[in-house]
Amino acid sequence: MNGLEIREMRVRFGGLTAVDGVSLTAPGGRITGLIGPNGAGKTTIFNACTGLVRPESGQVRLDGEDLMGLSVPARARRGVGRTFQRMELFDSLTVAENVRLGREAGQAGGNAVRHVVARRSDGEQVRAVTEATLELCDITHIADRTAGALSTGQRRLVELARTLAGRFSMLLLDEPSSGLDRYETERFAEILRRAVADRGLGILLVEHDMSLVMTTCEHIYVVDFGRPIFDGTPIQVQTSEAVRAAYLGSDAA
């Protein structure tokens, strides 16, 4: 299958079960949502997919390939990209340099000689990808500014651009609109849709901004206390009593 598959994932930390029996599918060429209240286990699911934590049981597959025995860098080289809730940019570098690192980092763990003596074509490819990604994210006009001098909205776009510059087929985005105002969020959503349409990427989106989720995602999975409680289209999620109970604390479920 083209995309990310999680089957019956279970993650425990000592006596605490953080993720319990979660299954989901995030196909390529589509934005899939993963939502739930704070502490529902969403980031832990991302950490298990990228290799930062080891599930007690379950499967994680990308394009049909089992990722469970692979290291974090190996999963990234297979095509799994990731952002975190807290932005981690190189503030002393320019925007263009930060984005270029997204491409160059994919060479880590590869041919050691190429790290020191790169081919001319490698440099040309990196430059081309960097320029195309800056344009895609509409940040070409700030390419020469240092990341530390940017607004929160601009930094979020640089973070996204750095991820898009990588050789990834599946992006796991963790609260990417945090700190953005309404206009910046709408702009961010448009860039996500454009990236999926132009590049055929798959995106699994963890987000608390329900407007962003409902306008970008074709299918949404909902978790609470580490357990799956519902999945469906945006309309189905909005009208689900189980989802309302999880978010509002009612007895509707």
Domains of the chain plus CATH, in order, are 1-79+168-253 (3.40.50.300), 95-167 (no CATH)
pLDDT for position 117: 53
The residue to which tokens 């007690």 are assigned = 56
pLDDT for position 85: 86
pLDDT for position 249: 63
CB proximity list for 98: less than 8 A, separation 6 or greater: 89, 90, 147, 158, 161, 162
CA distance linking residue 163 with residue 173, whole number of Å:
10
User: pLDDT truncated to tens, each residue of the chain (253 aa)?
Assistant: 689 999 999 999 999 999 999 999 999 999 999 999 999 999 999 999 999 999 999 999 999 999 999 999 999 999 999 999 888 899 999 999 999 999 987 655 555 545 555 555 667 889 999 999 999 999 999 999 999 999 999 999 999 999 999 999 999 999 999 889 999 999 999 999 999 999 999 999 999 999 999 999 999 999 999 999 999 999 999 999 999 998 866 554 4
